[in-house]
Amino acid sequence: MSSAKPTLEARCLFRSFGAGDTKTTVLHDVSLDLYGGEVSLMMGPSGSGKSTLLALLSGLLRPDSGEVIALGQRLGQMSENEQRRFRLRHCGFIFQGFNLFPSLTPREQLEMVLRWGEGTSQREAERRVEAALKQLGLGHRGDLTADQLSGGEKQRVAIARALLKEPTFCFADEPTSSLDWTNGEQVVQLLRAAARERGATIFIVGHDSRIMPYADRVYYLEDGRLSRKTEPEA
């Protein structure tokens, strides 16, 4: 199931916030590997540093020390613009909440990502968006505005937005937190399908134990330290 070489390696990550007396270290010496074609789940209680770790792995935040190597490139050595281009080319994100423009339709929100991000032509963007909407069962809902969609539909649009450009990595922060399990399971299955069918590296942060059966690797983070992990048998 996993390729021999990790697509993303995190080595000895430390990260703190604040300064002086208010300085708080959120991550202590975290190292892990993520693999293409796999779903990795990071579990842990609130405040354990899961989201900070996601930000470091995806290049949204720089570590105080340690390094992140993605596809053989050291993210820490990239300029801000280089990191942005790396994310544009390789990363999809799903955040808590749907974060969709309420008055734009799913079709428009997805086309915006392609047209603004990759400079895709209108015709090509329409074709790819149509295919994505159909795949997610939203073909008939693509012309409603986001505020007319149900929570599950909104989250599927958010997933489509993350996976539309067929990224190497997809980072999902609590993707099921605002959904019932019927919709939540659908979301996890979609992410797992992206890993299986396209070889994407999926990294999910959450504390919903119902996701665990869909994950290939499960990590536990407590007080900023990796406490244990469950990996597939060799």
Partner 1 sequence: MFSSPHNTRNVKLPYSLLLIGRERGRYLPAILAVAFCAQLNILQWGVLLGTLSVLSMPIDRSGADVWIASRDVLSLELGHPIPEEWEARVASQPEVARTETYLFSFGYWHKPTGGSEVCEVIGTQLGEQALGALSDLTPQMRTRLTEPGAVVVDASELERLGIHGVGDTAEVYGHRVVVVGLLHGFKSVGGPYVVCSLRTARMILPLFQEKPHDTMYLLARCRDAAAAQQLIEHLRQYPDLSAFTRDEFSLRTRLYWLTQTNAGIGMGFTAALALLVGLVVTSQTLYAATAASLREYAVLRALGIARWRMGAMVLAQSFWVGLFGIAVAMPVIFSLGAAANFSGARVLLPAWLFAGGNALTMAMALVSGLAALRSLRLVEPITLLR
Only segment of 71-79, 139-147, 181-189, 224-232 that touches partner 1 (CB under 8 A): 139-147
x/- contact string, 161-190, with partner 1 (CB under 8 A)? xx--x-------xx----------------
Which positions from 91 through 120 interact with partner 1, judged by CB under 8 A?
Answer: 91-93, 95-97, 99-101, 103-105, 107-108, 112-113, 116-117
152 phi/psi in degrees, rounded to 5: -65, -40
Q: Is 219 in the site for partner 1 (CB under 8 A)?
A: no
Q: Does 128 bind partner 1 (CB under 8 A)?
A: no
Choose between 174 and 216: whose C-beta lies nearer to partner 1.
Answer: 174
* Cβ 115 vs Cβ 142: under 8 Å: no
Q: How far is CA 144 from CA 29, 133, 147, in A?
A: 47, 12, 8
Q: Choose which of 84, 127, 134, 210 interacts with partner 1 (CB under 8 A).
A: 84
Can you tell me the distance from the alpha carbon of 52 to that of 155, in angstroms, rounded to the nearest whole number? Answer: 22
Shortest Å, Cβ 185 to partner 1: 23
Contacts of 79 (CB under 8 A, 6+ apart): none
In whole angstroms, how far apart are CA 89 and each of 92, 166, 196, 231? Answer: 9, 9, 20, 28
